[in-house]
Amino acid sequence: GVQISQISSFPTTADVSYDFNITNALGGIQPVGSLK
């Protein structure tokens, strides 16, 4: 999926990286995230 790293969007210094699957059958977005 699309690799997205969001930091400033959160009120914390945690590095949140998401792998969005935008090609699923529902045509939606499935965030699979990991807190580092």
Residue 7 per-residue DSSP state: S
Handedness of CA 5, 9, 13, 18 (dihedral sign): negative
Structure tokens at 26: 């529902």
Q: Residue 27 has what pLDDT?
A: 53
Q: Residue 13 has what pLDDT?
A: 44
Q: Residue 29 has what pLDDT?
A: 52
Structure tokens at 15: 């590095």
For residue range 8-26, list pLDDT tens digits in order.
554 444 444 555 554 554 5
Structure tokens at 11: 């009120």
Which 3 state secondary structure label does DSSP give 30?
Answer: strand
Q: Residue 36 has what pLDDT?
A: 46
Q: Residue 11 has what pLDDT?
A: 46
The H-or-E segment that residue 16 falls in is strand 16-21
